[in-house]
Amino acid sequence: MSPSTVHPYPPTDSFDGGDLDCGNGLLLLIRQHIDPLHPGELIEIVSRDATVEVDLPSWCRLTKNDLVNVHTEPGIWRFLVSKGTFTPPEHHDQPPADVNAPVYAEPDIALQPLRVKNLRKKTQMAITQEVVEPYIPHSLPEPVAVAPIKPLSVLSLGSWPRPRWLLSSLHQHLEGRLSTEQFEADADDAVQVAIAAQKRADIDVVTDGEQRRDNYSSFVGGILQNCQLIPVTDLLPYVDDPDQFNQELQALDVPAGDVRHPAVFGPLGRKNPLTVHEVQYAQGIAKQPVKVSLPGPYLLTRTMWMECISDRAYDNRDELAVDVVRILREEVAHLLSQGATLVQLDEPVLTEVLYGEQGQGGRTFMCGALGERGAQDEELTFAQHLLAQVTEGFPTERLALHVCRGNWTTDESSALSGGYEPLVPLFRSINVGTLVLELATPRAGELAALTGIRDDQRVGVGVLNQKDAENDTVEDVIDRAEQAIDFFGYDRVLLNTDCGFATFADNPIQSARAAERDLSLLAQARDHLRETYTVHA
């Protein structure tokens, strides 16, 4: 029976999900088919699983995709879903009277996670897996030499506010409605804008502003083999407590449907570089040295390990971590061989391990770290092990680690609080020469908490809280920097903001104009401090 004969409106696309339920891959298939559609276009989803009759309408409500019609046959359900709000076409016959009748109960969340967890192995996910080439450990390129970063250099943390036109291109590209070539052309223009602002601010080490990323970490899910980016709202069937998870999503300053999360459905592979192209383009237009940020191995493992999805490819989280470490080592090697001055691994979730509150499912929303976590000591040991593996053998002075307490809202009361003292053993043990730390906000604790880090480790000191910097002056920045110089010594201090300006593409913490002002304050403080300490040397 053709879709046009069972629904009041013809769908643009149709697919058969077989007996997959929402927690066993059906939502990944829906996402693959619905993303390329234009808003208001229709897709027919055919299912032979009875739980979908309840779960799919719930998913539609949560993702704000209109359920237009349901047609049932013995053992078969045909759902007609609009991408976003549906507006009936003009000059179309009126649909049958019962099309929009409330067939289902309307709980806030009617998904069935317990059943999903019990039956998640019943079928193979109907998504084609890409063959990953065998890893050759001795094939990594050697680093090229670069000039050392001078004391008190001002570093861009990473992200920069994206122009509105780039956000439009980014979403169209993520949904398959804009070609890679067209998106990259728009992204190139945005990188030029971001680097020009950093030049005007007169900082020492620039980034490309992460303009090509939907957010600072999950972007890798759109590049790695056998991984797919899906909106966070699509994850509800996979969590232990959907109500709790939904409450966490509501706390975001950006709609959860705009935040995408990587879903692993097969063995991970790095067929294409994650960020090497970012550095190459930035180097082509910037005279300053270029640094680049990568999501750290613990963050990626926590993010990607989601029961009912990744456990089809990996038996446990440790197995997934092996491939995450391998991929990051490949990327770091190629970045250093490309001449990246500094490769920064982002691990903000380390403070979530220490100070985050867990819901019933053992999860918190901390910069996208949705995966379950264990006991504190267990998690810190696991993180230390992964970071040690990724950084082993690379030039210490070319590697950095960034830790903060969350950067998704300007509401300081929503972010975590607590000092660095419990992380000092981890900092000491891994092969990184620079610790890029949130330190301006009182939530970060005292500098004295960092007593015990290695003498060869420099500190990128957060001397300005980008969430609350409107009234800061050069004198404020100088005062914070001098406290760090007194504590660590002149040669070990670099200057940066507490975190980036736009961790999530759709949720910039600052405007581009304010971000440029903030960096300019740091550069003015640098000039004053260099002159002062040179005179007194």
pLDDT digits (tens, 9 = 90+) for 201-252: 999 999 999 999 999 998 999 999 999 888 877 876 666 666 666 666 666 6
Q: Concatenated DSSP letters for 130-153?
A: PPPPPP-GGGPPPPPP-PPPPTT-
Rounded to an integer, the average pLDDT of 399-419 is: 89
Question: Do 21 and 165 reside in the same domain of the chain?
Answer: no
> Which residue is associated with the tokens 């500098």?
447
Domain shared by 205 and 75, yes or no:
no
For the chain, what's the residue count? 537
pLDDT at position 534: 82
Residues 183 and 287 both lie in one domain: yes
Lowest mean per-residue pLDDT among 202-211, 304-313, 391-400: 304-313
Percent of the chain whose pLDDT exceeds 90: 66
The reported pLDDT for the residue numbered 34 is: 93
DSSP 21-84: -IIIIIHHHHHHHHTTSPTT-EEEEEE--TTHHHHHHHHHHHHT--EEEEEEETTEEEEEEESS
Which residues is 73 bridged to in the sheet? 76
In a domain, 103, yes or no: no
CATH of the domain at 281: 3.20.20.210
Report if residue 402 sits inside a domain: yes
Same domain, 63 and 209: no
Least confident range from 152-156, 183-187, 405-409, 472-476: namely: 405-409
Q: Is residue 430 part of a domain?
A: yes
In a domain, 96, yes or no: no
Average pLDDT of the residues in 255-273: 84
Residues 184 and 60 in one domain: no
Q: Starting from the edge strand earliest in sequence, which strands make up the sheet with 493-497, in order?
A: 291-295, 342-346, 399-403, 434-437, 458-464, 493-497
- Mean pLDDT calculated for residue range 248-270: 77
Q: Which CATH number characterizes residue 64's domain? A: 3.30.110.40
Please check the confidence at residue 15 and state whether its pLDDT lies above 70. Answer: yes
Q: How confident is the model at residue 451 (pLDDT cuts 50, 70, 90)?
A: very high
Name the residue with higher pLDDT: 22 or 111.
Answer: 22
In a domain, 137, yes or no: no
149 in the same domain as 35: no
Task: Give the pLDDT confidence score for residue 406 in this predicted structure.
Answer: 85
Closest CA to 232 of 264, 255, 211: 255
Same domain, 83 and 166: no
Region 525-529 average pLDDT: 98
Give the tens place of pLDDT for each residue, 104-157: 333 344 444 433 333 344 344 556 788 887 767 668 999 999 999 999 999 999
- Domain end (from 87, 108, 125): 87
Q: Average the pLDDT over 340-354 and give the result.
A: 95
How many distinct structural domains can be found in the chain? 2
Judge whether 270 lies within some domain: yes
Which residue stretches of 260-343 are H helix? Answer: 276-285, 297-304, 317-338
Which of 87, 119, 154 marks a domain boundary?
87
Q: In whole numbers, what is the pLDDT of the chain averaged over residues? A: 87
Say if residue 282 is in the same domain as residue 396.
yes
260, containing H or E segment: strand 260-269
Q: Report pLDDT digits (tens) over 161-175.
A: 999 999 999 999 998
Say if residue 150 is in the same domain as residue 277. Answer: yes
Could you tell me if 403 and 516 lie in one domain? yes
For residue 92, the model assigns a pLDDT of: 60
Mean pLDDT lowest for which of 133-142, 151-160, 361-370, 491-500? 361-370
Answer whether 58's CB lies under 8 Å from 107's CB.
yes
Shared domain check, 57 and 153: no
pLDDT band at 374 (very low <50, low <70, confident <90, very high): confident
Q: Domain for residue 131, yes or no?
A: no
Query: Which range of residues forms the domain containing residue 72?
Result: 3-87
**Contact (Cβ atoms closer than 8 angstroms) between residue 305 and residue 364:** no
Residue 130 domain-assigned (yes or no): no
The DSSP 8-state label assigned to residue 168 in this structure reads H
CA atoms of 508 and 495, how far apart (whole Å): 21
Q: Verify that 428 and 340 share a domain, yes or no.
A: yes
